[in-house]
Amino acid sequence: GEMQKVREHSHTLNDELAEHKKNSTLLAEKLEQSQAQALVDPLTNVLNRSAYNLKMVQLTHEFKRYNEEWALLVLDIDHFKKFNDDFGHKLGDKVLKSVAGTVRDTIRVSDQVFRYGGEEFVVILSRINAKTAIKLAEKICRQIEKDYFVDGDKKLQVTISIGGAIITKDDTEMSLFERADKAMYRAKNNGRNQVVMDL
């Protein structure tokens, strides 16, 4: 009789442990999901600025160790404020979603696009040299230029300006971003809808 009791007790204990393990796993998955959600921009469904900050720290650190070249692109939608003011936020949101989607479809599988804020996006191009980075940035520009948005009887074209920089051993996360950002403003000042690289 005693043996039976012990067996039953250990059986219940195992059940409890299994249940506990299941709950822990579910909790971990939920946590991972909510952490993952916290890194995604809900409107455009691309990674957000927090995710970008994490990735930059990781990549800058890796570059110092492995010396693998990578590039940063800063993209800004041309005349976006006017677009929003003239045609409303609904169409503005549509443009943001479309630009994010086009960029994601144009870059390589190993690259990542982030919504940095407002109408500004950032792309990290991994293991790339300047020549290929320029080519890819140009390709993004041309793809976005092809997209039209319809508002009533109007066909609206959207363009972007891109600034880029390749990481150097002297760069910090901040200095690399600043170089790409300044290059983007040069692209704007040169007439928009183009790529300027800080090389």
pLDDT of 136: 98
For residue 123, give the nearest of 74, 78, 180 by alpha carbon: 74
* Percent share of the chain, pLDDT over 70: 87
**64-84: pLDDT as tens digits:** 888 889 999 999 999 999 889
DSSP state of 121: E
Q: Which residues are annotated as catalytic? A: 119
The token pair that represents 57 in the structure block: 């720290």
pLDDT of 196: 98
The token pair that represents 56 in the structure block: 């930059």
Q: How much is the pTM?
A: 0.82
Give pLDDT < 50 ranges for the chain.
none
